[in-house]
Structure 1
Amino acid sequence: MFNLGHLLVDAGRGEEAEVFYRRAVETGHTGAMFNLGNLLRQAGREEEAEDFYRRAVEAGDTDAMCNLGSLMRQAGREEESEGLYRRAVEAGH
């Protein structure tokens, strides 16, 4: 599901990719959480992206920590952004 989602994104078929990423998220796939967050953010669906980034962050994904930090900074939530960046640094990112 994850790999098919990735392939579909690369082919410019984001709507289809979303379906497979969501299915992979249901199985607990952290990479799908992160990639779905990216896909939703690129589509301007920041609130939904935040949810999936947060799921990946809770699973320990440092890239998600950075992307969520960026999203929070964009939203003017500087303190939360800094905390996420620091958490990523502490985890070795």
Structure 2
Amino acid sequence: MRVTIDRNLCGAWIPACEKCFSVFMARGVPDRLCVTSAVEDDSTNLTLLIHSGEHTSELVVTEENRATIMAEGWRKFANLPDGAFEIKPPHGEYWRKGGWRG
């Protein structure tokens, strides 16, 4: 499955975001507010496209790294700079520019 996560939609503190992400991983259902796209690609891996601030990263979750990512959080595996985690709640200008697509 390929899932797009836009952290800019939530603005949650990173530990809360990682906890929420772990719930998603445990359930396997992309029902989080920040999930903007979920496409089944018949892969055994979960490929995440994460938009955080003005940065984007791709993270591939495999059977081998799944438990570690759930326990330790996705942040250290996503290859995003520290500045990407300073998220403010979204506002109208973000939406007028097309969200992360703008």
Smaller-chain TM-score bracket:
under 0.3
TM-score, length-scaled by structure 2:
0.25
Bigger helix share: 1
Bigger strand share: 2
TM-score, length-scaled by structure 1:
0.27
With a CA cutoff of 8 Å and minimum separation of 6, indicate the structure with the bigger relative contact order: 2
